[in-house]
């Protein structure tokens, strides 16, 4: 879909770039010639992704072990990028955290685990990068990975829906405030694109069949479709495109409204939820075991 070398000369930071959608976007950007920095909490996962991607596509992929909930660590990380390789040209806000839970059962810590990463952490990264672009007189492009719930809200994933809706508003607000510096901000609101993290925490014990049944195109997303949109938003050619959140979901949210898949969770009993929690915790523990910091 894109010409070779489309992203040559671009230097892009992808948060949460070791796995899931972040890794998929990294693969396409690298293939198209971008120089990459991947940030995440698990150093070994980032390293193995960097090795796998450079093995396939060549190029340069550097990794940064960071928890974006820590504003000082984020600022130090971004300064390191500037010092080692020079200013970024692009940022992909992909790092996130989420699990399904009845909202009444969430503890303040449970809410914070998600909001601190998604809402606060994404702001910290955007701010650390944006203020350096402005100070240095550099243009830049930010692509944030949101979700269609920013338009509809969604039951059972309320901290995520609230946080991502905040980033949707950040995208619009900063597009206006930073437009005069040549900094643009856009976002992608994907419908279901199955990844391990999303499957284990949002569909524990089940797959995507119900989403497929509810979707006008009767399928989930194909990863190359998301990669293509992320490339289009990052590449040059439509610099006047800013402040937009583009849904890529086969018209799913237009057809079904508020978090249709999650509304089905109304059927679950307390015992079902207990089982779900155990499955989600197993995945969280597995991830935590891989973290270095």
Supply the minimum distance, in Å, between the C-beta of residue 177 and ligand HXC: 26
Strand-strand pairing, 61-65 and 183-190: unpaired
Q: Which of residues 139-158 bind ligand HXC (CB under 6 A)?
A: 147
Q: What is the contact mask toward ligand HXC in residues 177 to 216, using x (rule: CB under 6 A)?
A: ---------------x----xx--xx--------------
271 binds ligand HXC, rule: CB under 6 A? no
Walk across the sheet containing 183-190 and list its strands: 61-65, 35-40, 11-15, 90-93, 140-145, 183-190, 245-248
Supply the minimum distance, in Å, between the C-beta of residue 11 and ligand HXC: 25
Supply the minimum distance, in Å, between the C-beta of residue 219 and ligand HXC: 14
Instruction: Determine which residue in the list 114, 115, 125, 247 makes contact with ligand HXC, applying CB under 6 A.
Output: 114
Supply the minimum distance, in Å, between the C-beta of residue 119 and ligand HXC: 12
61 binds ligand HXC, rule: CB under 6 A? no
Q: What is the contact mask toward ligand HXC in residues 80 to 99, using x (rule: CB under 6 A)?
A: ----------------xxxx
> Which among 6-14, 30-38, 167-175, 280-288 is the span making contact with ligand HXC, rule CB under 6 A?
280-288
288 binds ligand HXC, rule: CB under 6 A? yes
113 binds ligand HXC, rule: CB under 6 A? yes
Q: Which is nearer to ligand HXC, 34 or 114 (CB)?
A: 114
Q: Which of residues 237-266 bind ligand HXC (CB under 6 A)?
A: none
Sign of dihedral through CA atoms 267, 271, 275, 276?
A: positive
269 binds ligand HXC, rule: CB under 6 A? no
Supply the minimum distance, in Å, between the C-beta of residue 291 and ligand HXC: 8
Supply the minimum distance, in Å, between the C-beta of residue 198 and ligand HXC: 4
Supply the minimum distance, in Å, between the C-beta of residue 34 and ligand HXC: 24
- For the purposes of burial, counting CB atoms within 10 Å of the CB of 7, is it exposed (0-12), middle (13-18) or buried (19 or more)? buried
Q: Which is nearer to ligand HXC, 179 or 290 (CB)?
A: 290
Site residues (vs ligand HXC, CB under 6 A):
96-99, 101, 105-107, 109-110, 113-114, 147, 160, 192, 197-198, 201-202, 277, 280-281, 284, 287-288
């Amino acid at each position: 879909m894109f010409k070779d070398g489309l992203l040559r000369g671009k230097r892009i930071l992808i948060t949460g770039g070791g796995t899931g959608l972040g890794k998929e976007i990294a693969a396409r950007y690298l293939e198209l010639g971008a120089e990459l920095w991947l940030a995440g909490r698990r150093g070994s996962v980032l390293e193995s992704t960097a090795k796998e991607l450079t093995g396939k596509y060549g190029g340069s992929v550097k990794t940064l072990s960071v928890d974006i909930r820590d504003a000082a660590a984020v600022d130090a990380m971004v300064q390191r990028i500037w010092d080692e390789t020079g200013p970024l040209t692009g940022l992909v806000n992909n790092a996130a955290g989420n699990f399904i839970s009845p909202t009444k059962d969430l503890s303040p810590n449970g809410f914070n685990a998600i909001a601190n990463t998604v809402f606060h952490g994404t702001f910290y990264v955007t701010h650390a990068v944006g203020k350096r672009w402005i100070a240095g007189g550099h243009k830049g492009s930010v692509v944030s990975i949101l979700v269609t719930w920013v338009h509809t809200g969604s039951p059972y994933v309320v901290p995520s829906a609230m946080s991502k809706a905040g980033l949707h508003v950040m995208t619009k607000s900063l597009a206006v405030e930073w437009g005069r510096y040549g900094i643009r901000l856009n976002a992608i609101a994907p419908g279901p694109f199955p990844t391990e993290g999303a499957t284990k925490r949002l569909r524990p014990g089940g797959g995507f069949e119900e989403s497929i049944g509810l979707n006008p195109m009767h399928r989930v997303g194909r990863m190359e479709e998301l990669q293509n949109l992320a490339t289009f938003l990052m590449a040059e050619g439509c610099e006047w495109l800013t402040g937009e959140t583009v849904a890529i979901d086969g018209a799913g949210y237009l057809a079904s409204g508020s978090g249709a898949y999650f509304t089905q969770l109304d059927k679950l009993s307390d015992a079902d939820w207990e089982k779900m929690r155990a499955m989600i915790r197993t995945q969280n523990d597995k991830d935590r075991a891989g973290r270095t910091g």
